[in-house]
Amino acid sequence: MKRNFIASVEENATGRIEQIAGELRQQGCTIKQVLKLSGIITGSSSGKESKLEELKVSGIKYIEEDRAVGALGDD
Protein backbone atom coordinates (compact mmCIF):
# COMPACT_ATOMS: atom_id res chain seq x y z
CA MET A 1 0.00 0.00 0.00
CA LYS A 2 1.37 3.39 -0.95
CA ARG A 3 1.86 5.72 1.95
CA ASN A 4 2.13 9.48 1.98
CA PHE A 5 5.01 10.55 4.18
CA ILE A 6 6.89 13.52 5.59
CA ALA A 7 10.58 13.17 6.38
CA SER A 8 13.14 15.44 7.98
CA VAL A 9 16.86 15.37 7.27
CA GLU A 10 19.68 15.53 9.78
CA GLU A 11 20.98 19.00 10.61
CA ASN A 12 24.33 18.25 8.99
CA ALA A 13 22.66 16.88 5.85
CA THR A 14 20.46 19.81 4.82
CA GLY A 15 23.03 20.81 2.19
CA ARG A 16 22.42 17.57 0.32
CA ILE A 17 18.65 17.39 0.73
CA GLU A 18 18.12 17.13 -3.04
CA GLN A 19 20.49 14.17 -3.13
CA ILE A 20 18.56 12.51 -0.29
CA ALA A 21 15.32 13.11 -2.19
CA GLY A 22 16.96 11.45 -5.19
CA GLU A 23 17.82 8.41 -3.10
CA LEU A 24 14.19 8.16 -2.02
CA ARG A 25 13.18 8.24 -5.69
CA GLN A 26 15.53 5.32 -6.28
CA GLN A 27 13.59 3.51 -3.55
CA GLY A 28 10.48 3.97 -5.70
CA CYS A 29 9.13 7.00 -3.87
CA THR A 30 7.35 9.85 -5.58
CA ILE A 31 8.65 13.13 -4.18
CA LYS A 32 6.09 15.85 -3.73
CA GLN A 33 8.10 18.66 -2.13
CA VAL A 34 11.64 19.41 -1.02
CA LEU A 35 11.48 22.15 1.62
CA LYS A 36 15.06 23.34 1.78
CA LEU A 37 14.72 25.87 4.60
CA SER A 38 12.83 23.42 6.78
CA GLY A 39 14.92 20.41 5.80
CA ILE A 40 11.82 18.40 5.02
CA ILE A 41 10.91 16.08 2.15
CA THR A 42 7.32 15.04 1.45
CA GLY A 43 6.04 12.40 -0.91
CA SER A 44 4.56 8.95 -1.25
CA SER A 45 6.12 5.52 -1.07
CA SER A 46 6.03 2.75 -3.66
CA GLY A 47 4.05 0.57 -1.33
CA LYS A 48 6.65 -2.21 -1.37
CA GLU A 49 7.89 -1.41 2.13
CA SER A 50 6.27 -2.99 5.16
CA LYS A 51 6.78 0.13 7.26
CA LEU A 52 7.95 3.68 6.61
CA GLU A 53 11.11 3.23 8.66
CA GLU A 54 12.47 1.09 5.84
CA LEU A 55 12.72 4.27 3.74
CA LYS A 56 15.05 5.94 6.19
CA VAL A 57 18.00 6.34 3.84
CA SER A 58 21.22 7.95 5.02
CA GLY A 59 20.67 11.55 6.09
CA ILE A 60 17.00 11.16 7.06
CA LYS A 61 16.38 11.86 10.71
CA TYR A 62 12.67 11.11 11.04
CA ILE A 63 10.04 9.78 8.68
CA GLU A 64 6.37 9.89 9.59
CA GLU A 65 2.98 9.35 8.02
CA ASP A 66 1.55 12.42 6.26
CA ARG A 67 -1.58 12.79 8.34
CA ALA A 68 -4.89 14.38 7.48
CA VAL A 69 -5.50 17.51 9.52
CA GLY A 70 -8.71 19.49 9.83
CA ALA A 71 -10.04 22.89 10.82
CA LEU A 72 -10.95 23.15 14.51
CA GLY A 73 -13.91 25.48 14.57
CA ASP A 74 -17.58 24.57 14.35
CA ASP A 75 -20.19 26.61 12.62
Partner 1 sequence: MNPYINNQAASGNKPKFTGKKLVLLNPEASFKNINEEATGAALRLAPSGDYKNIEEDYVKAFAEGDGIVFEKFNVAVINADHDEQVNNLMAARQSFQYMEPERYVYALDTPPQTNIGMLLWNFICQIFGIKKPGPVPTDPPVVVPPIFENDAAAYWAIHALGAMESQKTGRGVHVAILDTGMTLDHPDFQNRNIIFKSFIPGETIADFNGHGTHCAGIATGGINSTTGIRYGAASEAVLYTGKVLSNKGVGSDSGILAGMEWAVNNGCKVISMSLGASVGEDARYSNIYNDLAKKCLDMGTLIIAAAGNDSQRSHDSIKAVNHPGNCPNIMAVGALDKNSAIANFSCGGLNTDGGSVDIAGPGVEIYSSWKKPQEYAIISGTSMATPYVAGVAAMLCEAYPDASAIEIWEKLTNGARNVGLPARDAGSGLVQAPR
Q: Is 74 in the site for partner 1 (CB under 8 A)?
A: yes
Number of residues assigned to the chain: 75
Position 71 contacts partner 1 (CB under 8 A) = yes
The one-letter amino acid code at 54 reads E
Give the strands of the sheet with 60-65, arranged side by side: 30-35, 40-44, 4-9, 60-65
61 binds partner 1 (CB under 8 A): yes
> In this structure, are residues 3 and 47 in contact, taking their beta carbons and an 8 Å threshold?
yes
**Site for partner 1 contains 18 (CB under 8 A):** no
The answer to the question of residue 62 lying near partner 1 (CB under 8 A) is yes
Residues in contact with partner 1 by the rule CB under 8 A: 4, 6-8, 32-33, 35, 37-40, 42, 61-62, 64, 66-75
